[in-house]
């Protein structure tokens, strides 16, 4: 049986441009300051570098320093740590969201939709497989930033997942789309949606307002924070999710399709 509650800690912060050491040191200080229960701690997209198009210089393998750091932090704090890194594998570069458990097991999701507007598709290799992980009986669908604009990729088939989790570097100038689409994904998939974004300004002059958000299965906002750093823990409730799906069984009427 699933645990009735799941604790997410969202870390919304600035990212020092392409400075892995500075970023990991900063995150470590934030992790050390977290108190209270937490099952999953969420970092932004490309949390160690910012949204860089220089994977040739910045990528690491799955035994690299940042991956090892994630494993050490997950073990130390007895939590699952997730966020995306630039990873090289078999000569390809990936925007890879890692799911690092305290026992050292690492799952991952490779970003499916690459942001061609910024040239991501010219530097990175797209993933082709959805990743739904489990913790305490909860099923969580891992997604990265631009994936948010493609609802078919996130579509909940029956009760395949309970939480849709996005990590992002989503610019402030399109913050309305970020907030609106997160809410829409919650409503159409009758699930919790958690979105973690960064703040600050990157080396290319892009500003980020954060707007990290949590929505319930009816699309009601449970938490949002803009413009400044925030480390926030929120508790999701399985009973609430089941009540919504039982009372409003809309997923049973969804169109059937197969992704190819």
> Hey, which residues are catalytic here?
45, 111, 145
Q: Give the up-direction half-sphere exposure of residue 249: CA atoms within 13 A in the CB hemisphere.
A: 4
Alpha helices in the chain (DSSP H): 20-33, 55-58, 65-77, 120-123, 151-154, 175-189, 238-247
The whole-angstrom separation of Cα 129 and Cα 143 is 11
User: Which runs of E-coded beta strand occur in the chain?
Assistant: 5-12, 40-42, 80-89, 92-100, 106-110, 132-135, 138-144, 163-167, 192-196, 199-201, 207-215, 221-226, 230-237
The DSSP call for residue 251 is G
Q: Residue 119's CB: how many other CB atoms inside 10 A?
A: 11
The whole-angstrom separation of Cα 121 and Cα 143 is 17
Angle at 186 between CA 183 and CA 188, to 5 degrees: 105
Which of 243, 235, 236, 251 has its CA nearest to residue 192?
Answer: 236
The whole-angstrom separation of Cα 135 and Cα 249 is 24
Q: Residue 98's CB: how many other CB atoms inside 10 A?
A: 22
**What does residue 234 show for φ and ψ, rounded to 5 degrees?**
-130, 145
């Amino acid at each position: 049986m699933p645990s009735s509650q799941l604790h997410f800690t969202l870390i919304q912060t600035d990212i020092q441009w392409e400075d892995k050491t500075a970023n990991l040191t900063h995150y470590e200080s934030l992790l050390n300051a977290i108190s209270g229960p937490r099952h999953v701690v969420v970092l932004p997209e490309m949390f160690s570098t910012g949204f860089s198009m220089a994977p040739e210089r910045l990528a690491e393998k799955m035994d690299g320093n940042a991956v090892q750091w994630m494993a050490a932090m997950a073990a130390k704090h007895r939590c699952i740590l997730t966020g995306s890194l630039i990873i090289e594998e078999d000569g390809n570069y990936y925007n890879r969201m890692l799911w690092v458990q305290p026992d050292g097991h690492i799952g991952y999701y490779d970003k499916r939709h690459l942001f061609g507007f910024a040239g991501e598709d010219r530097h990175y290799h797209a993933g082709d497989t959805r990743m739904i992980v489990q913790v305490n009986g909860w099923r969580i669908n891992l997604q990265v930033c631009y994936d948010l604009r493609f609802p078919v990729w996130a579509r909940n088939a029956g009760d395949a997942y309970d939480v849709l989790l996005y990590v992002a570097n989503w610019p402030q100038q399109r913050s309305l789309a970020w907030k609106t689409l997160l809410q829409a994904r919650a409503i159409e998939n009758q699930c919790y949606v958690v979105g973690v974004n960064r703040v600050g300004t990157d080396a290319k002059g892009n500003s980020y307002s954060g707007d990290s958000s949590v929505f319930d299965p009816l699309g009601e906002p449970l938490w949002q924070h803009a413009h400044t750093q925030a480390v926030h823990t929120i508790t999701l409730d399985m009973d609430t999710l089941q009540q919504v799906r039982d009372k409003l069984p809309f997923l049973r009427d969804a169109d059937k399709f197969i992704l190819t």
